[in-house]
A = this chain, B = another copy of it.
Amino acid sequence: MAELRSCMATVAEEVEAVLDRTLPAVDGPQARLHEAMRYAMLGGGKRIRPFLVVAGADLFEVPRARSLRAGAAVELIHGYSLVHDDLPAMDDALTRRGRPSCHRQYDEATAVLVGDALQSLAFELLADPATHPEAEVRCALVRGLAEAAGAAGMCGGQMIDLLAEGRPLELPQILELQRLKTGALIGFACEAGAVLGGAGEAARQALRGYAADLGLAFQIQDDLLDVTGDAEVTGKDTGHDAAAGKATVVALLGVAGSRRRLEALRRSADAHLDRLGQRTAVLRAVFEFVISRSS
């Protein structure tokens, strides 16, 4: 695990550098927008999604410069979603990564534009020839990320989440919510390396299976932290879901039941990885990290 943390820290630094180069410089008449985009994206975050892209891409010996760019694009989508989710009309979150949320640091209108411009930047980054010399690969990445981010993915999941406030959801509905809200983007992150590496359908299917387990585990752990976590450690408000009457796996299965579910997901994820050959230690360790993290 110490080794994984060191690998993750390295990739996080490399992703930060790509984001720093990709985000617009703080100048021009719209400098405030550029500054707020940088505020939202730089200097924080575990960069788990980019790490998944890199770890998946390493299975197929993809040059690191390419997987980092694809990872940065996924992180831009994730970052924009946090800025918009934190808005008063959405989750109304005061803090993010231990700092004031974007709309509190700037203002609501700026935060809306920050999210919008970050989303555009993600696709601009992917479509650039520096991401991969083959345009077919770049187009596949753009399509995959757009699907994962849109109405059939992350945005759709967020809609279901908003509709679920104060309403009792059954477990299958909650699982569907989380499959879209968190799972779709994590699924794309895991599969992107295979796309970059031109891997066959069997490998992509195994990675999708692993990603589905990981995504759900990630969300359950997130919900557990909301119930049991410490705001100073997580860097965001806790007890927020319960206060909002939000349906979560943890609310339905309880803390102990949720931890049993995490174990079952780990076994399933391992079975998917068994089909991917020898070099899956990093992806196994990521799963371990995700279900044991405290922030």
Contacts and interface: CB of A to CB of B under 8 A. Distances in A.
Given A90-B112, A142-B127, A28 B156 contact: yes
A238 interface: no
A108 B155 CA distance: 14
A124 to B, nearest CB: 4
Q: Chain A: interface residue count, which band? A: 35 or more
A152 B113 contact: no
Given A89-B112, A163-B32, A155 B117 contact: yes
A222 to B, nearest CB: 20
A221 interface: no
A119 B117 contact: no
Given A143-B128, A159-B113, A150 B176 contact: no
Contacts of A162: 109-110, 113
B112 A127 contact: no
A193 to B, nearest CB: 19
The residue in A28, A109, A129 that gathers the most chain B C-beta atoms within 10 A of its C-beta is A109
Given A138-B135, A142-B123, A180-B30, A116 B163 contact: no
Given A156-B30, A159-B32, A180-B30, A120 B149 contact: yes
Given A30-B180, A135-B138, A147 B173 contact: no
A146 B121 contact: yes
Number of copies: 2
Q: Which of A121, A134, A159 gathers the greatest number of chain B CB atoms within 10 Å? A: A159
Interface string A131-150: 00011101110110011011
Main secondary structure of the interface of A (DSSP, over half): helix
A157 B29 CA distance: 9
A48 to B, nearest CB: 21
Contacts of A107: 89
A124 B147 contact: yes
21 contacts: A29-B160, A29-B177, A30-B163, A33-B156, A37-B151, A90-B112, A110-B162, A113-B158, A116-B116, A116-B119, A116-B155, A117-B156, A120-B150, A120-B153, A121-B151, A123-B142, A124-B150, A127-B140, A134-B135, A135-B139, A139-B139
